[in-house]
Amino acid sequence: MYSEKTCQQFSVMAGAAAMIMGGLLLFHLIAMRIMGISILVNNQEFEAFLEGVSEHKHLYTASGVVEAMSVACLIPIGLAFVSIFEDDRAYAILAVAFLFVGGTLIVDAYAHYGNMVGLGMDLQLHRAPTDLLIKLADTQGDLFEIIQYGGLCGFGASFVIISVLMTRSEYYPAPLAWLTFAVGLVAFFYTVVPFLFDYAQPIWGFVVGAYMLAREAGLVSVEEPEVA
């Protein structure tokens, strides 16, 4: 379906996109640590959360924007997977469909994430009763968490399928397949141990991106399959 040159171009674009995605996600992770706040809080903690948002409104906004931007990096990555897994194209298309659906839900979730900036400023300037703002923030937080988890389940299903396809392909080494499987697995448990996925996702981007770029640059030796 794709020529060898086209597959190489897809792989280079995907490798660069994965590295960029890793950088964007790392920025988001560092930003959240600097602010010291998390949207995944209980009702009683939303007042402190909104105060933190208003205090770091520019950094908070930037963290949400880069998280949404990282989703755009999935497009070349998905196209590369479809071109690489030529022998299992139907499963590759299914995996990429899960990936794109998950990405769309993540972008939608971060729209609710961004709404917290307005609520934080309303709290700071006393534009509305605190109880009302906390209730609105709790609603936005619940919507964010539900939609985000739907997106993460899409990512999880996609990465699990891709990890299996990696084991069936000569393009990827086994450690990358296991890393992809691990990222997909922890995505399903994000609400229990969110930090695992938060750290695993940028690591996956850097490792897979670096491997794809190094392979296409001829820096990775590829063993030819033995002929019986």
- Range of weakest confidence among 36-40, 52-56, 83-87, 180-184: 36-40
**Token digits of residue 225:** 């399959």
CA distance to 48, 98, 155, per residue, from 60 (Å):
14, 28, 24
pTM (two decimals): 0.87
* Average pLDDT taken over every residue of the chain: 89
Task: Tell me what percent of the chain is helix, strand and coil, each rounded to the nearest 5.
Answer: 80, 0, 20
- Distance between CA atoms of 7 and 136, rounded to whole angstroms? 48
pLDDT reported for residue 228: 40
- Residues 154-170 have pLDDT tens digits of 999 999 999 999 999 88
Range list of H helices, 85-193: 89-124, 130-168, 174-188
pLDDT at 176 over 60: yes
What's the chain's Rg over C-alpha atoms? 20
**Token digits of residue 166:** 């990696």
Identify whether the C-beta of residue 179 lies closer than 8 Å to the C-beta of residue 204: yes
- Distance between CA atoms of 76 and 15, rounded to whole angstroms? 9
- Residues 27-72 have pLDDT tens digits of 999 998 999 888 877 777 888 888 889 899 999 999 989 998 999 9
Ramachandran bin of 218, using left for φ above 0, alpha for ψ from -120 to 50, beta for the remaining angles: left
* Residue 153 CA from chain centroid, whole number: 11
